[in-house]
Chains A and B, each alone.
Chain A
């Protein structure tokens, strides 16, 4: 049961990562590796501020802002200096590794006895239910802390998902979507596409850093290595989400990314339970994403003649 709740919670927290990756990969077709660095940056900034007794909400928001700055850097390097998309992300990601070490001062910051969003949520749930340290739900004993973080993560994922959906329904948001969909057209309609890319990457990495900040508070530490392979995890969540909803409508895609992230974490938990060596996790994920990316084209070739190109 603890395993299931843990997987759900991490899935919901990492759904913010998936939403960030959705903006860069799907809206702008920008393979933004900055994510690997900015999720750690978010965790590092939040952890250090929490250790210094900053209010958890402020610390978490500061982490998101730091991620936004990282994304802005990648966007500026690409648009103003004409550096290849992938390389822009790699440059910032590499620079962030040292930055994160500087922020944390060491490679790992534990968050054992500090006030965090997790302890706040636990306190809130305790005062609502009036229970002790465990809750009796249906037939299980659940630690209040686990239940509280699960609920809090769910609320966070839903709020961010709704906010993102509403944003893409505004004039600015539709212009951003169009900048990814057809830059030539939206430029002719008066939008500075370069600025849109910078803004998009800033929002994307802010969400990813937010995800990192929440993850650090949930697991109780920030680690300089925690970001490795995160882009691929986010991408895997999106691909699963798209397969789940099957509709290319914004609201469904966003909901799908959240569900995909949760399902992905559940699959990971099951695989680990079934005896998968944790060291192989990233290898398996990479192979999974590879298969998911080539599968649609492969199936099309099997099922019939290629449709005329648009």
Chain B
């Protein structure tokens, strides 16, 4: 279970570039729940995931994963609980190392790494088995460098790596946004398979309304660093892309209204 309690984060405070990226996000996600996060650009969705992963520490609030307070933990320490897939397909794998080496690195996520032999011969069969489930034909290319793979293949592999050891929390940050439609579709299907098979607790950020309505058992819509809507259960199942677009539209209108009202006030009182 993930508990996020009133976390805040402001970037470049006190400068003209000040961004209040998270303004008091509170969220409780029960175990084995698959949450989809949507929102406008700059709404703080990716920032929320980065805050959970520990890319930066929050200014206020607490983050508790399965009863462990990780609020002050650095990123590499949180890795023992969290598996991640990034938006950029190049971010999740080491390009100059082989597929097998990358998998070996993932197989020790969050564990101490000593002088034990990394690539044990006995581990190769398990690698072949698990990589064949990606249905990409990579099981015969374990010794190829990652650099020779396509973005879609890398992203599928990153997904496998993030879930190699069962993560307490799986974070997917727009992990199909940079892929062509077919690869994106395949990676989404794999994500769904892995999450439901291993009963993972997962947060997925997406820009695709189709994915947002089809996937997950809960949907969170963020705006300006806070949670605007939180749909669960039957309400989530009923949501269709047009409904979501309508919500975005109303946000946009409220925004315009805010600004025109402010402008009116400025004129009236200037």
Binding site for B on A (CB under 8 A): 167, 169-175, 177-178, 181-182, 184-193, 248, 310
Q: Which residues of B contact A172 (CB under 8 A)?
A: 113-115
16 contacts between A and B (CB under 8 A): A170-B117, A171-B114, A171-B116, A174-B119, A175-B108, A178-B97, A178-B102, A182-B95, A186-B94, A188-B84, A188-B86, A188-B92, A188-B162, A190-B76, A248-B96, A248-B145
Contact A171 B94, beta carbon cutoff 8 Å? no
Q: Which residues of A contact B109 (CB under 8 A)?
A: 189-190
Interface presence of B230 (CB below 8 A): no
Interface presence of B136 (CB below 8 A): no
Contact B106 A189, beta carbon cutoff 8 Å? yes
Q: Which residues of A contact B115 (CB under 8 A)?
A: 167, 170-172
Contact B92 A175, beta carbon cutoff 8 Å? no
Which residues of B from 96 to 120 have beta carbons under 8 Å from A?
96-97, 101-102, 104-106, 108-111, 113-119
Contact B94 A187, beta carbon cutoff 8 Å? no
When C-beta atoms are compared, the residue in chain A nearest to B93 turns out to be A185
With a 10 A CB-CB cut-off, give which of B75, B97, B113, B161 has the most chain A CB atoms.
B113
CB distance from B43 to the nearest CB of A (A): 23
Which residues of B from 197 to 226 have beta carbons under 8 Å from A?
none
Q: Which residues of A contact B74 (CB under 8 A)?
A: 192
Contact A177 B94, beta carbon cutoff 8 Å? yes
Q: Which residues of A contact B104 (CB under 8 A)?
A: 171, 174
Q: Which residues of A contact B113 (CB under 8 A)?
A: 170-172, 174-175, 191
With a 10 A CB-CB cut-off, give which of A170, A172, A185, A191 has the most chain B CB atoms.
A185
Which residues of B from 154 to 207 have beta carbons under 8 Å from A?
161-162
- Give Cα distance in the complex from A105 to B45, angstroms: 62
In which size bucket is the chain B interface? 35 or more
Interface presence of B24 (CB below 8 A): no
When C-beta atoms are compared, the residue in chain B nearest to A170 turns out to be B115
- Give Cα distance in the complex from A170 to B82, angstroms: 24
Contact B75 A310, beta carbon cutoff 8 Å? no
Q: Enumerate the 4 nearest inter-chain pairs by beta-carbon distance, A residue then B residue, closest first.
A: A190-B79, A190-B110, A181-B94, A171-B113
Q: Which residues of B contact A175 (CB under 8 A)?
A: 105, 108, 113
CB distance from A175 to the nearest CB of B (A): 5
When C-beta atoms are compared, the residue in chain B nearest to A191 turns out to be B76
Contact B117 A169, beta carbon cutoff 8 Å? yes
- Give Cα distance in the complex from A188 to B135, angstroms: 25
Given A170-B117, A173-B118; A188-B94 close (CB under 8 Å): no
Given A170-B115, A171-B113, A173-B118; A188-B93 close (CB under 8 Å): no
Q: Which residues of B contact A188 (CB under 8 A)?
A: 53, 75, 79, 82, 84, 86, 92, 162
Contact B75 A187, beta carbon cutoff 8 Å? yes
CB distance from B26 to the nearest CB of A (A): 25
CB distance from A247 to the nearest CB of B (A): 11
Contact B105 A174, beta carbon cutoff 8 Å? yes
- Give Cα distance in the complex from A169 to B53, angstroms: 29
- Give Cα distance in the complex from A188 to B84, angstroms: 7
- Known A-B contacts: A171-B118, A189-B110, A248-B96. Give 8 more (CB < 8 A): A171-B114, A177-B101, A178-B102, A182-B93, A182-B95, A185-B92, A188-B53, A248-B145
Contact A184 B86, beta carbon cutoff 8 Å? yes
Interface presence of B232 (CB below 8 A): no
Q: Which residues of A contact B114 (CB under 8 A)?
A: 170-172
Given A178-B94, A178-B105, A184-B91; A192-B76 close (CB under 8 Å): yes
Q: Which residues of A contact B95 (CB under 8 A)?
A: 181-182, 310
Contact A169 B119, beta carbon cutoff 8 Å? yes
Given A187-B76, A189-B108, A190-B79; A182-B117 close (CB under 8 Å): no
Q: Which residues of B contact A174 (CB under 8 A)?
A: 97, 101, 104-105, 113, 118-119
Given A187-B79, A190-B109, A248-B96; A310-B116 close (CB under 8 Å): no
Given A169-B119, A170-B118; A189-B79 close (CB under 8 Å): yes
- Give Cα distance in the complex from A248 to B91, angstroms: 21
- Give Cα distance in the complex from A179 to B113, angstroms: 13
Q: Which residues of B contact A181 (CB under 8 A)?
A: 94-97
When C-beta atoms are compared, the residue in chain A nearest to B78 turns out to be A190
CB distance from B146 to the nearest CB of A (A): 9
Select which of B76, B77, B97, B118 is within 8 A of A193 by beta carbon.
B76
Q: Mark B58-81, 1 if CB is under 8 A from A, else 0.
A: 000000000000000011110110
CB distance from B108 to the nearest CB of A (A): 6
- Give Cα distance in the complex from A181 to B101, angstroms: 12
Q: Which residues of B contact A177 (CB under 8 A)?
A: 94, 96-97, 101
Contact B94 A182, beta carbon cutoff 8 Å? yes
CB distance from A82 to the nearest CB of B (A): 15
CB distance from A81 to the nearest CB of B (A): 17
Select which of B94, B97, B116 is within 8 A of A170 by beta carbon.
B116
- Give Cα distance in the complex from A173 to B119, angstroms: 11
Interface presence of B248 (CB below 8 A): no
- Give Cα distance in the complex from A177 to B94, angstroms: 9
Select which of B80, B86, B101, B117 is within 8 A of A190 by beta carbon.
B80
CB distance from A104 to the nearest CB of B (A): 35
CB distance from B70 to the nearest CB of A (A): 13
- Give Cα distance in the complex from A186 to B79, angstroms: 9
